[in-house]
């Protein structure tokens, strides 16, 4: 018989940490903690396979599941010394989701399940606290109604607030047992009003309702959005964890908290977290109350006047320290812990690899390796390559004037400026208009995730360092300030205020996620300094990677940034970008609009010294590292004057009739310029353009070799060829120019001529082309466009739908489509090497900075990848992980 349910508790478990795919992350780790003999409330896990079955069988369950759940419930009851549904001695449980990848706050949870009109009285007797019992019951009704019955949280909030106003209460703690008991009746009445049915009193009906809701929440909108943003497959499903309740809201000797074994923002090795006395677990994570510090040191640093856990609960704190040290050694990674203290006794509710910023991930990986807990190679695999982007965020210039309106908690590092918006939908709308925004909320909830993704930064007035806003922002690499309690947000009037200052929607603020400050207006920013741990980990990565990493760099500034980030050459210099300079565009337009070759050569003679100067500077910066220069590629119409004023200016410079120029501009206009008169087609029709560029390259190489003393070996790249004949014609001109410069200067340049493979035909003809081409660089942007027949500029309107509907697994312009575009690259690689075994092969599209694409390039044996300068560190780390057989890290 299939096993659908696994139990844990009392120092043993049927599962273990390595069963994450079956039990989900939470279930596997609860089982592991039980096996380690840690204090874990007993419970059981319904496997992810039940979730798969549930969706494959029209939301029904396997026939054996009911009996297996009943047996597991009885086993949990025996360990806890209670019985589920027993009105005299009731077992109460929590029902939580647990996917194999952590999805904080994305799915549904129900606490205190098993309470009804009879068991609430038993709970009051056992706890000797009627107020606590009815508070627990009203929490259960609120959660269960929201999650299972579809009666939103706001219904109950409205009843509670009205009652507090009527009684003159300010805080929930002001309410008495009688208040809560009365509210329970009003809550149940509201449920009947909204659903037409009584609130369920049968604990078994409650349990199956909650189990169904958790499985159902796998397909709720916020979970779908989170999975899409974090590349979590829908097919994984979620497990359901049912666990005996322990209560952190049973008075002043009870508490609940969240802790990290190292600081998730900085990586510092110190217990870091928050707790709340007399509260339930969801209170901390939901950010409804701003919590207290766990350690005395953190309390002092925060300037808090509330007691730390270390001071208020010394015995429970000491046990927590022992457990966290043991768990970190056991898992060999920073852990995120959830715990509850019930009447002085500590219970562990969860451990998992903690979400962390890139800065923290680097420090933790390097320090764990230095402590001997993991190897250097493991350290390299512990950091998500794409997360390194976070390290490159700007920070506020220390010299800048800070007009601080409020200070909250530094929840996610980095700084960002933008216009204030108050809703996730507004954030998306502003972003679509090209406006940068800061999302301002009282607290964020999982429904806000699309707005958080669209925003530059996030600001909340409630919640701690482990609130939803903090955890999600850190995962996204967005600056976040949480718990800025001095601010008052008024959604109705679209304002946020502090003291006498009122800011409205559209006003600009800056959030500093490293200090917790909120500043009025835009503030000067600094580019980040990379930490010592960054250099250490990158050094370890460079020791193991095989792929070289170059940068796409069109300007000296690009080249310097690329070198700073460890680039090993320039894989693509787009010469046309040099032509758009205001001082040069006139000469370029003269060249394009000239009637004959003589006119074109006159204009090109003006451009020659400018191009030569550019190349000299690039070669000097790169000091002998390879530099691949692409000949002019875009359609000529991109350089043409568009306004009558621009036409008149060019006409005056050329002493020509403006009408004649307008006619020439019309002649050059194309229906589909991306597939038109561009690339090598320009060099074939107007060979003088390629000759001027080749001359500039070779003269610059001679000059730079003299000035630096380092040999310069330029790689001249012919774009957009479809076959060997085109390439050979252009190569002939380049070789002739190299010979001419050698005669004129007396210095012979060592150079290579190769091509960009960006048309499917070129990929298929690669064997022939390699007879004369010395290198191939795959232009994956255009190769993807021409393989799919999709314009990258127009794809946004429908590609998102394709990915959402599962037609494509990912956007092929973001990650190489291995089956189609990747297969063409593989064919070209094999055919090219068969003819010329030493041919140099690389890619130079933006895919060069995508970790999955880098892994593909490693697998098929390319020599290098080239990407934008700021993605060079990402590519270096991804190349190392590919060499270690790992395309992406899972813990960062």
**Nearest to residue 661, comparing CAs of 646, 644, 647?**
647
Sheet holding 335-342, edge to edge: 292-293, 272-277, 255-260, 335-342, 345-353
pLDDT the model gives residue 889: 37
CA–CA dist 175, 166 (Å, integer): 12
Distance CA 639, CA 107 (A): 52
Note if the pTM is more than 0.75. yes
Beta-carbon contacts of 796 under 8 Å, excluding residues fewer than 6 positions away, are none
Domain shared by 44 and 162, yes or no: yes
Is the sign of the CA dihedral 166, 168, 173, 175 positive or negative?
A: negative
Q: Tell whether 378 is covered by a domain.
A: no
Distance CA 633, CA 777 (A): 14
**537 lies in some domain:** no
Asked if the structure places residue 384 within a domain, the reply is: no
Cα(281)–Cα(287) distance, rounded to whole angstroms? Answer: 10
Residue 572 has pLDDT above 90, yes or no: yes
Eight-state DSSP code of residue 872: H
Q: How far apart are CA 266 and CA 262, in angstroms?
A: 8
Burial of 838 (C-beta count, 10 Å sphere; 0-12/13-18/19+):
exposed
Query: Within this chain, do residues 621 and 495 fall inside the same structural domain, yes or no?
Result: no
Query: CA separation (Å) from 172 to 175, 184, 645?
Result: 6, 14, 69
Given a cut of 70, whether residue 568 has pLDDT beyond it is yes
Give the pLDDT mean for 312-338.
97
- pLDDT for position 814: 84
- The pLDDT tens digits for 45-77 are 999 999 999 999 999 999 999 999 999 999 999
Is the pLDDT score of 458 beyond 50? yes
pLDDT tens per residue across span 504-519: 999 999 999 988 999 9
pLDDT band at 860 (very low <50, low <70, confident <90, very high): very high
Mean pLDDT taken over the chain: 91
Q: Is the pLDDT of residue 891 over 70?
A: no
The alpha carbon dihedral of 723, 840, 702, 739 has a sign of: negative
Q: Is the dihedral of CA 126, 130, 134, 135 positive or negative?
A: negative
Residue 585 half-sphere exposure, CB side, CA atoms within 13 Å? 14
List phi, psi (to 5°) of 193: -60, -40
- Catalytic entry in 51, 480, 573, 844: 844
In this structure, are 211 and 273 located in the same domain? no
Q: How many domains does the chain have?
A: 4
Both 466 and 402 in one domain: the answer is yes
Same domain, 239 and 268: no
Q: Which of 782, 500, 488, 761 is nearest to 633 (CA)?
A: 782
Q: Is 844 annotated in the active site?
A: yes
Structural contact between residues 849 and 871, judged by C-beta atoms closer than 8 angstroms:
yes
What is the arithmetic mean of pLDDT over 363-375? 97
Q: What is the pLDDT of residue 282?
A: 63
How does strand 415-421 pair with strand 548-552? Answer: unpaired
Q: Say what the pLDDT of residue 280 is.
A: 80
User: Which of 129, 78, 96, 88 is CA-nearest to residue 25?
Assistant: 96
CA dist 790 and 783 (Å) reads 10
Q: What does the pLDDT read at residue 890?
A: 36
**DSSP assignment of 458-474, as one string?**
EEESS--TTSHHHHHHH
CB-CB contact of 84 with 77 (8 Å) = yes
Q: Are 482 and 409 in contact (CB under 8 A)?
A: yes
CATH of the domain at 474: 3.50.30.10
CATH number, residue 342: 3.30.470.20
Instruction: Assess whether 521 and 619 both reside in one domain.
Output: no
855-864 average pLDDT score: 98
Determine the Cα–Cα distance for residues 640 and 638; give it in Å rounded to an integer: 6
Q: Report the C-alpha gap between 482 and 467 in whole angstroms.
A: 8
Question: Is residue 665 a part of any domain in this protein?
Answer: no
Residue 589 has pLDDT above 90, yes or no: no
- Where residue 284 falls among pLDDT bands split at 50, 70, 90? low
What is the DSSP-derived secondary structure letter of residue 390? G
**Is 663 within a domain?**
no
Answer whether residue 364 is part of any domain: no
Residues 852 and 714 in one domain: yes
Count CB-CB contacts under 10 A for residue 87.
Answer: 14
Residue 750 DSSP symbol = P
Domain final residue pick, 210, 244, 278: 244
Radius of gyration of the chain (CA): 32
- Nearest in space to 513 (alpha carbons), one of 502, 501, 528, 500: 528
pLDDT at position 647: 82
Domain interval for residue 316: 255-356
Kindly state whether residues 78 and 173 are assigned to the same domain: yes
The answer on 558 and 501 residing in a single domain is: no
Q: For residues 742 and 878, state if they share a domain.
A: yes
Same domain assignment for residues 76 and 225? yes
CA distance 469 to 120: 34
pLDDT at residue 523 is higher than 70: yes
pLDDT of 651 > 50? The answer is: yes
From 393, 450, 468, 637, the catalytic residue: 468
Domain holding 559: CATH number?
Answer: 3.20.20.60
Distance (Å, whole) CA 261 – CA 331: 11
- Annotated catalytic residue 230: no
18 band by pLDDT with thresholds 50, 70 and 90: very high
Ordered DSSP codes for 557-578:
HHHHHHHHTT--SEEEEEGGGG
Which of 284-293, 455-464, 794-803 has the weakest average pLDDT?
284-293
Q: What is the pLDDT of residue 770?
A: 99
What distance in Å separates the CA atoms of residue 700 and residue 688, rounded to the nearest whole number? 18
Look at residues 244, 269, 294 and tell me which one is the last residue of a structural domain. Answer: 244
Q: Does position 653 have pLDDT exceeding 90, yes or no? A: no
Looking at the domain assignment, is residue 263 inside a domain? Answer: yes
Q: Is 290's pLDDT higher than 50?
A: yes
State how far the Cα of 104 lies from the Cα of 286, in Å rounded to an integer.
10
Contact 849, 874 (CB under 8 A): yes
pLDDT at position 465: 67
Among 356, 381, 404, give the residue marking a domain's end: 356
Q: Given a cut of 70, is residue 469 above it in pLDDT?
A: yes
Task: Give CA–CA dist 837/863, Å, rounded.
Answer: 12
Asked if 567 and 610 sit in the same domain, the reply is yes
Q: Which residue has the higher pLDDT, 860 or 450?
A: 860
* Whole-Å CA distances, 11 to 95, 470, 823: 21, 34, 52
231 φ/ψ sector (left φ>0, alpha ψ -120 to 50, else beta): left
Per the domain annotation, does 89 fall within a domain? yes
pLDDT of res. 672: 84
**Residue 171: per-residue pLDDT:** 80
């Amino acid at each position: 018989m299939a096993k659908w349910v696994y139990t844990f508790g009392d120092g043993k478990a049927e599962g273990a940490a390595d069963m994450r795919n079956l039990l989900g992350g939470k279930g596997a780790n609860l089982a592991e903690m039980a096996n380690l003999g840690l204090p874990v409330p007993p419970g059981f896990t319904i496997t992810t396979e039940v979730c798969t079955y549930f969706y494959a069988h029209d939301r029904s369950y396997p026939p054996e599941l009911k009996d297996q759940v009943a047996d597991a419930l009885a086993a949990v009851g025996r360990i806890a010394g209670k019985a589920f549904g027993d009105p005299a001695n009731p077992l109460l449980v929590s029902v939580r989701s647990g996917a194999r990848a952590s999805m904080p706050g994305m799915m549904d949870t129900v606490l205190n399940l098993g309470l009804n009109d009879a068991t609430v009285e038993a709970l009051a007797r056992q706890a000797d606290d009627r107020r606590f019992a009815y508070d627990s019951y009203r929490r259960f009704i609120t959660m269960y109604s929201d999650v299972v019955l579809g009666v939103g949280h706001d219904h109950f909030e409205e009843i509670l607030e009205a009652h507090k106003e009527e009684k003159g209460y300010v805080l929930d703690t002001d309410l008495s047992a009688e208040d809560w008991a009365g509210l329970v009746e009003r809550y149940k009445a509201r449920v009947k009003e909204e659903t037409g049915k009584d609130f369920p009193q049968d604990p078994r009906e409650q349990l199956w309702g909650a189990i169904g809701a958790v499985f159902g929440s796998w397909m709720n909108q916020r979970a779908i959005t989170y999975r899409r943003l974090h590349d979590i497959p829908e097919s994984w499903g979620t497990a359901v964890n049912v666990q005996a309740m322990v209560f952190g809201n049973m008075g002043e000797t009870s508490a609940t908290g969240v802790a990290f074994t190292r600081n998730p923002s900085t990586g510092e090795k110190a217990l870091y977290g928050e707790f709340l006395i007399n509260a339930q677990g969801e209170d901390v994570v939901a950010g409804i109350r701003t919590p207290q510090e766990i350690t005395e040191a953190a309390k002092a640093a925060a300037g808090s006047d509330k007691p730390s856990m270390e001071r208020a609960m010394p015995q429970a704190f000491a046990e927590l320290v022992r457990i966290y040290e043991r768990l970190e050694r056991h898992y060999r990674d920073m852990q995120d812990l959830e715990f509850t203290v019930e009447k002085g006794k500590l219970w562990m509710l969860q451990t998992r690899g903690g979400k962390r910023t890139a800065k923290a991930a680097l420090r933790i990986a390097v320090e764990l390796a230095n402590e001997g807990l993991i190897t250097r190679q493991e350290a390299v695999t512990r950091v998500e390559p794409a997360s390194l982007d976070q390290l490159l965020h700007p920070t506020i210039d220390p010299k800048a004037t800070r007009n601080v309106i409020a200070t909250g908690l530094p929840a996610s590092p980095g700084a960002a400026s933008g216009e204030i918006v108050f809703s996730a939908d507004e954030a998306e709308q502003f972003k679509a208009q090209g406006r940068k925004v800061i999302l301002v909320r009282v607290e964020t909830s999982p429904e806000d995730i699309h707005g958080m993704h669209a925003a530059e930064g996030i600001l909340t007035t409630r919640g701690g360092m482990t609130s939803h806003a903090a955890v999600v922002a850190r995962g996204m690499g967005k600056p976040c300030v949480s718990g800025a309690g001095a601010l008052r947000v008024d959604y109705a009037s679209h304002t946020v205020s502090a003291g006498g200052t009122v800011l409205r929607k559209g006003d600009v603020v800056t959030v500093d996620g490293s200090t917790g400050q909120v500043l009025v207006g835009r503030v000067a920013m600094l580019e980040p300094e990379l930490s010592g741990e960054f250099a250490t980990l990158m050094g370890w990565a460079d020791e193991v990677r095989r792929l070289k990493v170059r940068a796409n760099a069109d300007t000296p500034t690009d080249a310097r940034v690329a070198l700073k980030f460890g680039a090993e050459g320039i894989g693509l210099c787009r010469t046309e970008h040099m032509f758009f300079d205001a001082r040069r565009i006139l000469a370029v337009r003269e060249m394009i609009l000239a009637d004959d070759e003589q006119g074109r050569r006159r204009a090109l003679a003006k451009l020659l010294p400018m191009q030569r100067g550019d190349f000299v500077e690039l070669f000097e910066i790169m000091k002998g590292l390879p530099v691949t220069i692409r000949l002019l590629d875009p359609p000529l119409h991109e350089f043409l004057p568009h306004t009558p004023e621009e036409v008149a200016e060019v006409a005056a410079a050329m002493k020509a009739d403006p009408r004649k120029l307008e006619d020439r501009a019309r002649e050059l206009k194309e229906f589909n310029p991306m597939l038109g008169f561009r690339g090598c087609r320009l060099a074939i029709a107007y060979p003088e353009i390629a000759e001027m560029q080749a001359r500039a390259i070779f003269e610059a190489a001679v000059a730079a070799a003299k000035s630096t003393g380092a040999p310069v070996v330029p790689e001249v790249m012919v774009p957009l060829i479809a076959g060997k004949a085109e390439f050979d014609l252009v190569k002939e001109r380049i070789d002739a120019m190299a010979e001419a410069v050698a005669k004129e200067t007396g210095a012979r340049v060592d150079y290579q001529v190769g091509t960009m493979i960006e048309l499917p035909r070129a990929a298929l003809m690669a064997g022939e082309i390699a007879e004369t081409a010395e290198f191939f660089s795959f232009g994956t942007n255009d190769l993807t466009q021409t393989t799919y027949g999709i314009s990258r500029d127009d794809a946004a309107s429908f590609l998102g739908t394709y990915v959402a509907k599962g037609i494509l697994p990912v956007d092929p312009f973001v990650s190489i489509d291995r089956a189609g575009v990747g297969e063409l690259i593989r064919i070209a690689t094999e055919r090219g090497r068969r003819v010329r075994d030493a041919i140099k092969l690389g890619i130079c599209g933006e895919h060069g900075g995508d970790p999955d694409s880098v892994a593909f390039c490693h697998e098929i044996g390319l020599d290098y990848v080239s990407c934008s300068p700021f993605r060079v560190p990402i590519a270096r780390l991804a190349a190392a992980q590919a060499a270690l057989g790992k395309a992406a890290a899972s813990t960062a």
